[in-house]
Structure 1
């Protein structure tokens, strides 16, 4: 399932006056690349699930995430070759878009991009009425340098209360390396007094998602644990095991 252009990665859905929209599926939602070698190339697949032709274009942005995971984006320039940059996809058809890194082959540190697959509004006859829902779906692309290994350090632990009065532990981590780290590639242990709980990598991936921590950055995560009433403070530790 593709990521809408709203929420966490600031992917947006826009409304335009026109007729009916064509639904689309974008895969994958996350791509891991390197600045050199075979993995400096990848592809994005778009499927037109609708009954009308689907016009789309791919737009590349550089992204920087703050501690809460909210991105700030800017144009990516000529860092990527996207082929084709636009396409008209027939109903029920599939279009593959090739992406290739054209930026610095010897990157100093990882860079993160958001590649938006934006539906292009079609021009309709003057008599046509209604609302066309024009979607933008997004793919996160992380480009790692040819050398380096990610690491995560626990900076701070805390507790937050949600809208339903349930308390959850928080964990702030720091990436001191030149390679981006994915927090769900960790096993996390939370404890408070005689109570403790452990979250596996799979549980973190299911509840948190990508969990990107960029080089030299911090990220604060709310963990999917409801704390017992007797726990008033927590300590955290993690074992980070990045995939090769």
Structure 2
């Protein structure tokens, strides 16, 4: 649950956590599970100059060696947030492309942009850090039988923008809706329909935008026709929509669990 500030009245709204599946598990008859951490999870680069290079740190946070390799996927995202991936290892020089970390070990992975120096607009990628199987201890396997190894695949969002390019984002549609929230991983039943607000953001600029970096202010009327204003902080937006990523020259629809608005027009403005 989270509090959304409502001037003119107060309401409590449930905050659903929309989280991308950054860790994928692959069971196998192997050794005990190991895990890793990748940071940062969002990297913003430019296509030339000093910002054409970046660094991602891989950390082994469990006992035992951790072997990993990196892969790159170009990402296209539609208005509803559906992602299409295309292998794109050739767009970056990555060093080292693979490695083995001891328990508690860290490795800085360097990214160098190899694409065009002047792309038409921001290009979006996932840099995938994939855990590799490690050699089993045959003695332990004989003593305790079949074991399970969980292989983690952590993904960092990497966006490469043309130097000097800027986003130009506007709210082209804001309306009250009843919507079906995503089913949480492992849940047996779908969540109930949610009273909320659907926001369509259109970016006509050549640079992507991370709209959860801003506060959002929604002004309209409630179901009784009375004036209603809701202020949503960047922290609340991050919990609800992640980064609020809007691609360059693209569109995204975000559904927020903000109850109380009526069917009338809703105005959305952004603040720092």
Secondary structure class of the residue paired with 1:204: helix
Map of 1:135 onto structure 2? 152
Map of 2:268 onto structure 1? 237
Of 169, 176, 179, which residue of structure 1 is paired with 2:204?
A: 176
In the alignment, is residue 189 of structure 1 matched against residue 217 of structure 2? yes
Give ranges in structure 2 of 5+ residues lacking alignment.
1-17, 181-190, 222-226
CA contact (8 A) 1:185 1:240 kept: no
CA contact (8 A) 2:22 2:154 kept: no
Map of 1:225 onto structure 2? 258
Spell out, residue by residue over 1:62-108, the C-alpha distance to the aligned partner (whole angstroms, 9 max, x if none): 00111122211001141111100000000111111111111111111
- 1:10 Cα deviation after fit: 6.9
d(CA) in 2 for partners of 1:227, 1:46: 44
Map of 1:79 onto structure 2? 91
Secondary structure class of the residue paired with 1:134: coil
In the alignment, is residue 24 of structure 1 matched against residue 41 of structure 2? no
CA contact (8 A) 2:94 2:109 kept: yes
Root-mean-square deviation over aligned CA pairs:
2.2
Rg comparison, structure with higher value: 2
In the alignment, is residue 208 of structure 1 matched against residue 236 of structure 2? no
Map of 2:57 onto structure 1? 45
In the alignment, is residue 121 of structure 1 matched against residue 121 of structure 2? no
- Between 1:139-148 and 1:156-165, the stretch displaced more is 156-165
CA contact (8 A) 1:8 1:70 kept: no
Map of 2:111 onto structure 1? 99
